[in-house]
Amino acid sequence: MRVALHLFASYADALGTRSLDVSLPDNAIVRDALEYVRALPGAQSLPPQPLVAVNAEYAPLDRPLKQGDEVALIPPVAGG
Amino acid sequence: MIHVALVREPIDITRLIGRVASHQIGAIAAFLGTVRDVNEGRPVTGIEYSAYEEMAERELLAIAGEASRHSDVPCAVAIEHRLGELSLGDVSVAIVVSHPHRAAALHGCQYVIEELKVRVPIWKREHYADGTRAWVDNRGTHVTSEVIG
């Protein structure tokens, strides 16, 4: 399946991009998307377990993904 | 009444208050967050805010709904957060909550800002007097820093 991966703020700077089109196995879960990101150049500075959102909602690591999902890595938030 | 928005222009507080005003309420509580000139001892010259906008709006709506339901009579809640480049003293966030009685209005206002600071995907990069800048999280930690070339 293909999913869209979104990066923001410090994570986007670390990986040098704001979005990626990623190919994952059909039974992939959030953890697999995270592993994909971890293998990219620049990902060393990411925390061990960054927050993840799927389709604009916080999601656990074991959440199944489906074709076309929007997966976002959420850096520590700083609103206010 | 619930209103949330991410905005790129200065927040019109009077207009926001107008959104929650009615003859049924007896109290309006407001919170404004502003850009401070120092953080963790470092002189700050400005802050740049960005967001995962679709998700930030959803989270703000959820928080406003929760705040509204805290008392027997629902509060009216209006929240606006600035994005983009802000200068010292600029209002970065405005929260206005109204209710027939003050305790619920004040409580609602505090609930919104505390939840906003931990849940809403908004980020800030501080610019410092020495020409450097850094992403900062809400614990005051410098996530990364860089020198502007």
**What phi and psi values does residue A70 have, to the nearest 5 degrees?**
-100, 110
DSSP-assigned letter for residue B120: S
The reply to whether residue B49 touches residue A79, judged by beta carbons under 8 angstroms, is yes
Distance CA A31, CA B143 (A): 23
Q: List the single best residue of A7, A46, A54, A77 to mutate versus B (max B Cβ within 10 A).
A: A77
The reply to whether residue A77 touches residue B121, judged by beta carbons under 8 angstroms, is yes
Distance CA A75, CA B1 (A): 31
Within 10 angstroms of residue B113's Cβ, the number of other Cβ atoms is 18
B110: which chain A residues are within 8 Å (Cβ-Cβ)? none
Residue A72 makes CB contacts below 8 A (sequence gap 6+) with A5, A6, A7, A8, A52, A53, A54, A56, B52, B55, B121
A49 three-state secondary structure: coil
Q: By a Cβ cutoff of 8 Å, what residues of chain A touch chain B?
A: 6, 8-10, 13-14, 45, 53, 56-57, 72, 74-80
B127 touches chain A (CB under 8 A): no
Q: DSSP characters for A26-59?
A: TT-BHHHHHHHHHTSTTGGGS-SS-EEEETTEE-
Q: What is the pTM of this model?
A: 0.93
Q: Is the ipTM of this complex over 0.90?
A: yes
B25 three-state secondary structure: coil
Per the CB < 8 A criterion, the answer to whether B16 and B1 are in contact is no
**Residue B8 banded pLDDT, cuts 50, 70, 90:** very high
The reply to whether residue A79 touches residue B136, judged by beta carbons under 8 angstroms, is no
Per-residue model confidence as pLDDT tens digits over A29-76: 999 999 999 999 999 999 988 999 999 999 999 999 999 999 999 999
The shortest CB-CB distance from B122 to any of A6, A13, A77 is to: A77
Per-residue model confidence as pLDDT tens digits over B25-61: 999 999 999 999 998 889 999 999 999 999 999 999 9
